[in-house]
Amino acid sequence: MDEGRILAASKDGAYVIRMTGDVRLTLCTTIDDYFHRMLENPEFASVWVDLCDAEGVDSTTLGLLAKLALEVRHRFGFMPAIYSSNPGITRLIKSMGFQRLFELHEDVCANPDNVHRIPVVQGSEDAVREKVIEAHRVLMGLNEENRVRFKDLMAALEHG
C-alpha cells in the first residue's frame, strides 16, 4: 500500500479534502489541525471528502472524519459529502454509520484545481494518544456496534 497523504483544495470557502494511499493514525495530528483551521475560516461554506484514491483508512481517521461531520452539522447545519468509489472503503464507512453523517456518493468525484499536499504536523506521543482516544469516542457514540467494536481498545488506551 502507498503511504497515506492528505491533499486539499479550497476556493471561496468551499473545501475538498482528498485522502490517498493508506491513511493511518500517524496523520491524525495533520488531519485534526487542518479540520480545525478550515472550520475557523470565516468564509467556510462547504466541505467534501474524497476517499476515491484511499487504499486504507484506519479507525482513528474515521473517527476524525465523523467528528468533522458532526461539527459541520452542529455549527453550520448541513451534512458534508463523502465520495468513495472503492467498494471496500464504502463498506467500511457504511459499517461505521457514515451514511447518517455524510451525503454518501459511491462514485468518483471531480478533480478540483489547485489541490495541494497538506504539510504533515508532528504530534507528541501524548497528543497523538489523545486524538486517537477522542476519535474512537466519536465512533463509539455513533452506534451500538461501534461501541462494542472499540470497547476493549478504549479500555487499553485510557488505562495504558
| Mean pLDDT value across residues 60-74 | 97
Residues 75, 12, 118, 29: what is their CA dihedral angle, to the nearest 10 degrees?
Answer: -10
CA–CA distance, 69 with 78 (Å, rounded to integer): 9
What pLDDT does 112 receive? Answer: 65
| Mean pLDDT value across residues 61-81 | 97
pLDDT level of residue 99 (50, 70, 90 thresholds)? very high
Instruction: Tell me the pLDDT of the chain averaged across its residues.
Output: 93
DSSP assignment of 7-42 equals: EEEEETTEEEEEEEEEE-GGGHHHHHHHHHHHHH-T
What pLDDT does 53 receive? Answer: 92
Digit-coded pLDDT (tens) for 8-35:
999 999 999 999 999 999 999 999 999 9
| Mean pLDDT value across residues 110-116 | 73
| Mean pLDDT value across residues 124-151 | 94
Domains present along the chain, CATH in parentheses: 5-159 (3.30.750.24)
